[in-house]
Amino acid sequence: MRSYSVLLVKQGWRFQVNHGQSILIAAQEAGIRINSSCRNGSCRTCYCQLQVGQARHLIDWPSLSREEKEEGYILPCVATAESDLELVTDYAFKI
């Protein structure tokens, strides 16, 4: 199965995301907890900024403004990788 590498820039941690898998779940499977709550793209707890790469939301209306999307913000509970990614969040922890 195709997979992509995700680097959490501030922490220097890296994990793999399988094609179509949510970034949040992939992180969890790698022992990394990104803060989350609803896991359906509405609460914004998991909010991250994409610095490098291409991600795709798995739902039509993630809770982000057009400006936020243009600035690279994503909700990793409902987003998957379309290339290798570099993501910025302050709220990631080793499980």
Binding site for ligand FES (CB under 6 A): 36-39, 41-46, 75, 77
C-beta closer to ligand FES: residue 1 or 71: 71
Inter-residue contact 55 to 81 (CB < 8 Å) = yes
CB 38 to ligand FES: min, Å = 4
Pseudo-torsion of CA 10, 63, 39, 60, nearest 10°? -110
On the CB side of 44, CA atoms within 13 Å amount to 8
Task: Give the nearer residue to ligand FES in terms of CB position, either 2 or 65.
Answer: 65
Least distance CB 5 / ligand FES (angstroms): 21
